[in-house]
Amino acid sequence: MKTLASLAIALASLNASAADLAEHTFSTYVNDQGEISLPADARKSWSHLGSWVVADEKAPGYGFHDVYSQPEVVEAYRQTGKFPDGAVLIKEIRKVEHGTQTTGLAQWAGDTAVWFVMVKDRQGRFQGNPHWGEGWGWALYEAKNPTLNVSKSFEETCKACHVPAQQSDWVFSQGYPTLHKP
């Protein structure tokens, strides 16, 4: 009995925080027309979900990929296995630096090149907006101007790279150990 009651309380709390998350996201990072803004300094206060390295210098995503989301998203995902409405994922791609260190030849993340931002929209708020598709809002920001979304549209800029992740809600979640309970 106590376990069922505890579970019911946890789910009610999760649903309340998920509603708060959506309200906060859609009033802070998305305007009424569906334009997404890049959250400031997510590296400092958001959860680091995981990292990727695209080592092929000729690949369009060459560099270090670090992905961040709100702490509430991690908790919701761990409970449900799904991204809640209002979840924001930020992929920061940084240039590759390298050199010899005391440990030998090393590579590390350099300056930021671009940020990709995805915003989960379970309600289909922005029908007809080219930056919204497949349950997400999509944006791309370059380091030279982090206030300007340079994505042409979800179809033109984002979809092709995410097709392999279609079965996991368009997110390469296998690379994000923080989402999974240890």
Question: Is pLDDT above 90 for 17?
Answer: no
- Give the residue-averaged pLDDT of 152-174: 93
Q: Is the dihedral of CA 152, 154, 158, 160 positive or negative?
A: negative
Amino acid in the structure at residue 112? T
Query: Backbone phi, then psi, for 40, in 5-degree steps?
Result: -80, 135
What is the rounded average pLDDT of the residues 111-140?
Answer: 97
Res. 12: pLDDT tops 50: no
Mean pLDDT, all residues of the chain? 90
pLDDT, tens digit, 9 for 90 and up, residues 24-43: 999 999 999 999 999 998 99
- pLDDT attached to residue 18: 66
**Domain map (residue ranges) of the chain:** 2-179
> What confidence score (pLDDT) does residue 1 get?
52
Given a cut of 80, whether residue 13 has pLDDT beyond it is no
| Residue 158: both structure tokens together | 């984002």
Q: What is the CATH number of domain 2-179?
A: 3.50.70.20
Q: Cα(first)–Cα(last) distance of the chain, in Å?
A: 26
